[in-house]
Amino acid sequence: MTHDLVVVGSANADLVVGVERRPGAGETVLGSDLAVHPGGKGANQAVAAARLGARTALVGRVGDDAHGRLLTASLTDAGVDTAALRVGGAPTGVALITVDPSGDNSIVVSPGANSRLTPEDVRASADLLRSAAVVSTLLEVPVETVAEVARIAAAPGGPRLVLNPSPPRELPREVLAACDPLVLNEHEARVLGATAAGRGAAEELLRLGARSVVVTLGADGAVVADASGTAHVPSVKVDAVDTTGAGDAFTAALAWRLGAGAALREAAAYAARVGAVAVTRAGAQESYPTAAEVSA
């Protein structure tokens, strides 16, 4: 079976509490009832792409526990191929999320089983990766695992690689050189060495070695840059309810459209519409739209 998109990445249980305001150092605030949702940037991307109609698979790892079963069920229900989702080695990863009334969030991640996803796991799934038009990955799994994904993508006939360097850290040169595109926000761009903002950051990261770059700017849209030039993609104005997982929906939609042959700017414009729908609904995976909803 061929796939439109294979995601190599994390699967977490999102433990979400609403707060009137996020606490400062040493401060305690009261929150809403705890809600548990399937999440993790890798699982989020896989579900978002599958909802849009992409043939999608996830290479990842969960624990042999209730959170792992929740995630496996959510992926399966969305139509994601979970044959390469490994079980065991550590408890399922957990994200502790607070959401304020404006929809902004703060997140602390305990990686758990995600930190046990190894380069050997990626090599065992090499045929799956090569079956895809695009492979998307991120930094909630070990850098050496991401480097193995990049090695497979860079080989002759390999898939196109989309990387969201979140949480941000310095990337090996060979990983940066395989990114097509590197998808990141301005904070992540600074960690990777950009000194400018917006358009300037995208152009700097091209010069540092990425094949193409998308810098997301929140309500101001995004900047895309590749060998053909740099362009601004406007946002879609909506009333945000919860931004949790919206960036993952953007990246998944972008990757899927690129694999279908769209130009970078066109794919980013479509991804902006998908992200806009997602922020109008609570939660991460529960907020992701179908292609028909995006068209509407």
Catalytic site positions:
248
Rounded to whole angstroms, how far apart are CA atoms 284 and 259? 23
Residue 13 marked as a ligand binder: yes
**278 annotated among ligand-binding-site residues:** yes
Q: Is 164 assigned a ligand-binding role in the annotation?
A: no
Dihedrals φ, ψ of 85, to 5°?
-90, 110
Backbone angles phi, psi at 137, to 5 degrees: -145, 180
CA neighbor of 35 nearest in space, from 50, 16, 12, 61? 16
Q: Distance (Å, rounded) from C-alpha 211 to C-alpha 276?
A: 26
Known binder of ligand: residue 276? Answer: no
Q: Does 74 appear as a known binding residue?
A: no
Q: According to the annotation, is 218 in a ligand binding site?
A: yes
Annotation-wise, does 140 bind a ligand?
Answer: yes
CA 169 to chain centre: 15
Residue 29 neighbours by CB distance under 10 Å: 12
Distance CA 154, CA 128 (A): 15
Residue 220, annotated as binding a ligand: yes
Residue list, annotated binding site for substrate: 12-14, 40-44, 140, 248
Residue list, annotated binding site for K(+): 242, 244, 278, 281, 283, 287
Residue list, annotated binding site: 12-14, 40-44, 140, 185, 216-221, 242, 244, 247-248, 278, 281, 283, 287
Residue list, annotated binding site for ATP: 185, 216-221, 247-248
